Amino acid sequence: MSRSVQTDTEKKIAEIREALEKATHGQWKWVDVYKPEWLQFLTQAVEMYRELMHELDKENDHLHEKINELEKLKQERDKLIEVLRLYANPRNWYGDVFAPPEGISDEVDDGGQCARDILKEIGVTVDV
């Protein structure tokens, strides 16, 4: 005697298969995302990212060094301007403040004109 009558379990399995076939377009395909080439690609990408971050850190450190160097140069420039302003002020040439020793040429004893010229050349105003 052949069994043409399906059990409840067999009917349920058949219904699920039929529903699955209707819900999908074509065959399901298993994609193994853990294949060695994927792992290798991911590892390379992570390593490239780390290298880029290391390079960025080095560039950032270099920029901070340059900023500090520029700040130091600005401070030195400000000090030099302060001295030039003192030298440039003709009022400081009277009396003993900048009294040149005997025998100094007129080129050196210019009453601060050279300093005023330099300050003007670098764009610093001098109040005389």
| pLDDT tens digit at each of 128 positions of the chain | 445 566 888 888 888 877 777 666 666 666 665 567 777 788 889 999 999 999 999 999 999 999 999 999 999 888 888 888 877 777 766 655 555 556 556 556 677 778 888 888 888 877 76
In a domain, residue 65? The reply is yes
Residue 62 belongs to a domain = yes
User: The domain containing residue 106 runs over which residues?
Assistant: 32-121
Give the Cα separation of 64 and 69 in Å (integer). Answer: 9
Residue labelled with tokens 């399906």: 6
Nearest-angstrom CA–CA distance, 41 and 47:
10
Tell me, yes or no, whether 95 lies in a domain: yes
Tell me, yes or no, whether 25 lies in a domain.
no
Place of tokens 């560039």: 59
pTM reported for the whole predicted model? 0.46
Count up the domains in the chain and report the number. 1
In a domain, 113, yes or no: yes
C-alpha pair distances (Å), 107 with each of 43, 84, 98, 103, 112: 72, 16, 14, 11, 10
Establish how many alpha carbons lie within 13 A of residue 54's alpha carbon, considering only the half-sphere containing its beta carbon. 6
